[in-house]
Chain A
Amino acid sequence: MGTLVAAASLASYGTVATLDFGATVIFIGLLVGMAIGVRLRGSEPQILVIAGFVASSFAVLIVVLSIYAPVFAGVVPGLEALGSTDTARVAYLFASLFLIPINLVGCVIGYALADFLAPVSVGRGRNFGHR
């Protein structure tokens, strides 16, 4: 998730597939969240939320590291040395923060979808009144 969003933020550098940044944040965030939700169907909801939060936070960290990669590599003293276009790229950092809520929504959707599609015999639904 983080690698794809980072690649989308660097689309002007001629990546293999040109990705739209906004669409990548929304759809990849939802898709990965849903996959995590499906995978964690048997877990408690708080585990799901923590997993989604950790995954999306890690993705944001990858975006930060990627955008500042030339600085960490020591080839530029700061992004401002590359001009306004690359300074504006810092805005992608803030936009990538939307990954966190979108990913959490995806997690919940995936969790609910897996629960909805599960047969009753393997614990479909959660009837807390009988516990």
Chain B
Amino acid sequence: MNWLPKTAAIVLVALAVFGAVEWSNAVDRYIAASDARMRIGENVGYVNVTIPPVTSADQVVNIGVLFFVRNPSGIAVDVIQIQYRLWMDNLTDTRAFALKMNSIFVAPGGFLPPGDGLLIGPHASVGIWANATVQGATQPVALARLNVTFGGNYYPIIDATLVYRIHGTAIVDKVLGIVFITSTGVTPHAA
């Protein structure tokens, strides 16, 4: 009968070892993922906005928006998508943005990486180009709204959303309201 207490002791030790490995891994990832979710919103922004000059009514205009995303945490994240809406501010229209937004909206844009998303390692940064296209031949209203300059500069307004996943988990979260507003304008030039 000596085998039964010994077996019980072995079971307890095995469960303790397995549990310790599982627990340390789970809690480590849980804390790192929580850290990422709390701080990634402060680490997403704009680097550059490029809008080419509009020279013809049937021009295909490719608008480029370069985002930077920094992963401040100790766990990797996958960028699943970036979506944004682009408005071109009309400085002569002094109404509040909420009142004039429908009349100055140009086009949606975004970045949709293939597969499981764009991997950003722990404490790493990436620049992501997210493009929007306005086809003058089929979107004359959008092209007209885009082609509004003051002093030779565009005054775009962008509101973006970033959707990401904590790498290797089922945790998907998003950052809303990544806003770009310029007071000095954007000089027209191609990306």
Q: Is B5 a contact of A114 with CB atoms below 8 Å?
A: yes
Residue B1 CB within 8 A of the other chain: yes
**B11, B15, B26, B37: the one within 8 Å of A10 (CB):** B26
With beta carbons under 8 angstroms apart, the residue of A28, A69, A117, A119 that contacts B30 is: A69
Residue of B nearest to A62 (CB): B23
| Docked pose: A34 CA to B20 CA in angstroms | 20
| Residue on A nearest B29 in the bound complex, by CB | A13
Number of residues in A with C-beta < 8 Å to the partner?
A: 43
Nearest 10 pairs between A and B by C-beta?
A: A3-B19, A3-B23, A70-B34, A7-B22, A38-B8, A35-B8, A10-B26, A75-B35, A14-B169, A14-B168
30 CB < 8 A contacts A-B: A2-B23, A3-B20, A4-B18, A7-B22, A10-B26, A10-B27, A11-B26, A12-B171, A13-B166, A14-B166, A15-B26, A16-B21, A16-B22, A17-B22, A34-B8, A35-B8, A35-B15, A38-B4, A38-B8, A39-B8, A41-B5, A69-B27, A69-B30, A69-B31, A70-B34, A75-B35, A81-B38, A83-B173, A86-B34, A117-B1
